[in-house]
């Protein structure tokens, strides 16, 4: 009995031992299989993951492409940017080190506070920027005092620089840091300190100028500290952009306009190339690159002369008497009047119980079309405008480039406004009145145009062609750059005799014995300019004010003074250049705008940029500071 129980116990033990051994074998087999799977089958995958933990791939910002004028004069370039960094783990006392650094270079309390916050947020071995845009002397002083500045290092990079400062700011625009609310779809935009175009050509051609980033492979330890650089591939520098501007004329025009709130555009009428586009006052685009202070920003946006606005394309003004050529052409084309028929001006015309006055209170007497343009007789144009009608005038205005944006390729360009009867019904819900046609006849009322549009108008009057303005010479990328027309400009199909009458009137403005701008004719022997003055009211004048006598301009608040405009082309015998000038609240066009236009045109003819060789594409050096050779 005892023997049987012992045998049962042995059998039970053996069964349990077998089960336990089998379980252990199964576990060992599973472990071996898992190890085989990880070390053999998945070896490549885990080797790659290990390498990725050990090796970091870092993006390198490319040098931004330059912007040049037609002769290769630099308008926007890159220059060395020295900046001072601090590594907190390399200094025992951060505050003391910053105190010592403040004895060497200017360091604001804002910079100190910012550095302290950055250090607390980052790992101790990560460098923190203390100040950028150090000059050579500041950088040298830091290097000399390096033994007393533990953890302080000087780094070198590139920053955008505009060597012409304010001269072409509105055309070029500026670069600035990427806004946090911008959708980031490009890894370059995520780089600390990376800047993108925010206005002007910098914005319009940002992708072309930006280039392609490079890469740097670095070996790091478990904490992310860089041990060494394994491989470096430089990026592709941004493409250079060549504009049609002539920087010499741009600078001269800006200096001639001076402190006025004004704009001027000069065009080559044969190619449409914009040689000058100036808006004053201007701003320094370099300030946006370094970062504006709140005080600087408030000064810019609070200035009533609007330095941030490109008045050449965004300023909308009543064209005044510069519009009278459009009314004259419309009248000739519709047969409302012939060139030699006269209208008598006695200083006003009746409009129901009201009077519409001429600027010449004593009246001009009998006026034919040439003299009406030359002497800018309002009564003559009241009469022919009423015969033609606002819709036909509007049609002619659009043929000459007014009423819609020119497509020159700058953000912010405005359409202006050419009113019609249908426009007023749709916009204001009112019917058109005859008095409004009078206002349109002298380029006021609802009529609005930009200085660029007025330069286009002068170009089309001088050629009879549908001249279109362009600002860029070099094609960079077909999907981002507006191409210059490859075919000749469309013929506007004016009757040559009609166009000759209007041109003769513009010639008489400057060169006739009674022209409104005869004091501003060119002083170049054998060369003459044709043009038209325009003085537009910004505030209506009541009958009581007119009878009491108008005050001198110095007695009128600046923002209530009339605008002064002038359009012109030259040389008269073989036109090549057209221009427009607008001086906001400048007063009389013949006294203010015409002399400015004369001086600008004189300089344009002296330099004659359209007839001289321009920079060729193969003359543009692609290498620049920081770019691969």
Name the pairing type of β-strands 530-536 and 365-367: unpaired
Distance, CA of 103 to CA of 152 (rounded, Å): 13
Q: At how many degrees (to 10) do helices 593-607 and 247-257 cross?
A: 160
Residue pair 461/405 in contact by the 8 Å Cβ criterion: no
Prior bond of 281 cis (ω within 30°): yes
Reference 624, options 47, 39, 64, 172; nearest CA is: 64
Dihedral pair phi/psi, residue 110, rounded to 5°? -60, -45
Cα separation values, 186 from 59, 200, 304, 395, Å: 11, 21, 38, 46
Q: Positive or negative, the Cα torsion across 488, 492, 493, 495? A: negative
Distance, CA of 347 to CA of 349 (rounded, Å): 7
Active site residue 321: yes
Residue 379: Cβ-neighbour burial (10 angstroms; 0-12, 13-18, 19+):
buried
Residue 285 CA to its chain's centroid (Å): 11
Reference 80, options 620, 623, 624; nearest CA is: 624
Out of 88, 261, 321, 459, which one is annotated catalytic? 321
Count CA within 13 A, CB hemisphere, residue 595: 9
Distance, CA of 277 to CA of 38 (rounded, Å): 68
Cα separation values, 194 from 149, 175, 291, 306, Å: 28, 9, 13, 28
Q: Which long-range contacts (CB under 8 A, 24 or more apart) does 339-343 make?
A: 339/368, 339/369, 339/370, 339/497, 339/498, 339/501, 340/368, 340/369, 341/368, 341/369, 342/366, 342/367, 342/368, 343/367, 343/372, 343/377, 343/379, 343/380, 343/383, 343/384
**Residues involved in catalysis:** 321
């Amino acid at each position: 009995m005892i023997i049987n129980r012992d045998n049962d116990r042995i059998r039970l033990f053996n069964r349990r031992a077998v089960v336990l051994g089998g379980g252990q074998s199964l576990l060992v087999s599973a472990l071996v299989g898992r190890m085989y799977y990880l070390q053999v089958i998945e070896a490549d995958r885990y080797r790659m993951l290990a390498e990725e933990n050990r090796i970091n791939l870092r993006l390198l910002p490319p040098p931004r492409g330059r912007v040049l004028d037609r002769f290769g004069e630099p308008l926007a370039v890159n220059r060395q940017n020295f900046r001072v960094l601090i590594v907190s783990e390399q200094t025992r006392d951060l505050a003391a080190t910053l105190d010592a650094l403040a004895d060497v270079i200017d360091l604001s309390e804002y910079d100190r506070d910012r550095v302290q916050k950055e250090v607390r947020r980052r790992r101790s071995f990560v460098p923190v920027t203390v100040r950028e845009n150090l000059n050579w002397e500041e950088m040298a002083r830091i290097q000399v005092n390096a033994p007393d500045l533990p953890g302080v290092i000087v780094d070198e990079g590139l920053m955008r620089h505009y060597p012409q400062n304010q001269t072409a700011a509105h055309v070029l625009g500026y670069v600035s840091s990427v806004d946090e609310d911008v959708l980031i779809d490009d890894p370059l935009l995520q780089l600390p300190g990376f800047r993108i175009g925010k206005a002007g050509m910098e914005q319009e051609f940002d992708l072309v100028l930006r280039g392609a980033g490079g890469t740097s492979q670095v070996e790091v330890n478990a904490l992310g500290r860089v041990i060494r650089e394994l491989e470096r591939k430089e990026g592709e520098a941004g493409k250079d952009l060549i504009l049609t501007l002539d920087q010499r004329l741009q600078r001269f025009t800006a200096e001639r306009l001076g402190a006025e709130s004004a704009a001027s555009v000069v065009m080559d009428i044969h190619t449409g190339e914009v040689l000058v586009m100036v808006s004053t006052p201007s701003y320094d685009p370099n300030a946006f690159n370094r970062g504006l202070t709140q005080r600087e920003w408030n000064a810019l946006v609070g200035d009533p002369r609007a330095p941030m606005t490109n008045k050449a394309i965004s300023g909308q003004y009543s064209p005044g008497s510069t519009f009278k050529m459009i009314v004259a052409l419309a009248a000739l084309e519709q047969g409302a009047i012939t060139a030699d028929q006269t209208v008598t001006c006695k200083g006003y015309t009746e409009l129901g119980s009201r009077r519409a006055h001429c600027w010449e209170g004593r009246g001009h007497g009998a006026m034919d079309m040439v003299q009406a343009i030359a002497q800018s007789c309002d009564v003559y144009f009241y009469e022919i405008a009423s015969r033609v009608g606002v819709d036909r005038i509007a049609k002619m205005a659009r043929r000459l480039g007014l009423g819609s944006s020119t497509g020159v390729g700058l953000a912010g360009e405005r359409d202006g406004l050419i009113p019609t009867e249908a426009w007023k019904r749709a916009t204001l819900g009112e019917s058109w009145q005859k008095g409004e046609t009078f206002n349109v006849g002298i380029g006021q009322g609802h009529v609005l145009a930009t200085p660029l549009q007025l330069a286009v108008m002068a170009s089309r009057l001088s050629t009879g062609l549908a001249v279109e303005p362009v600002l860029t010479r070099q094609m960079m990328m077909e999907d981002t750059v507006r191409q210059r027309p490859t075919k000749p400009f469309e013929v506007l199909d004016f009757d040559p005799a009609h166009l000759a009458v209007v041109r003769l009137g513009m010639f008489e403005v400057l060169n006739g014995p009674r022209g409104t701008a005869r004091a501003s004719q060119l002083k170049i022997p054998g060369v003459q300019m044709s043009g038209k003055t325009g003085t537009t009211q910004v505030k209506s004048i009541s009958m009581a004010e007119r009878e009491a006598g108008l005050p001198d301009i110095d007695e009128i608040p600046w923002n209530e003074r009339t605008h002064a405009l002038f359009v012109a082309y030259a040389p008269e015998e073989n036109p090549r250049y057209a221009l427009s000038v607008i001086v906001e609240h400048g007063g009389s066009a013949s006294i203010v705008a015409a002399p400015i236009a004369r001086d600008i045109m004189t300089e344009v003819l002296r330099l004659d940029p359209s007839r001289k060789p321009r920079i060729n594409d193969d003359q543009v050096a692609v290498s620049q500071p920081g770019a691969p050779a």
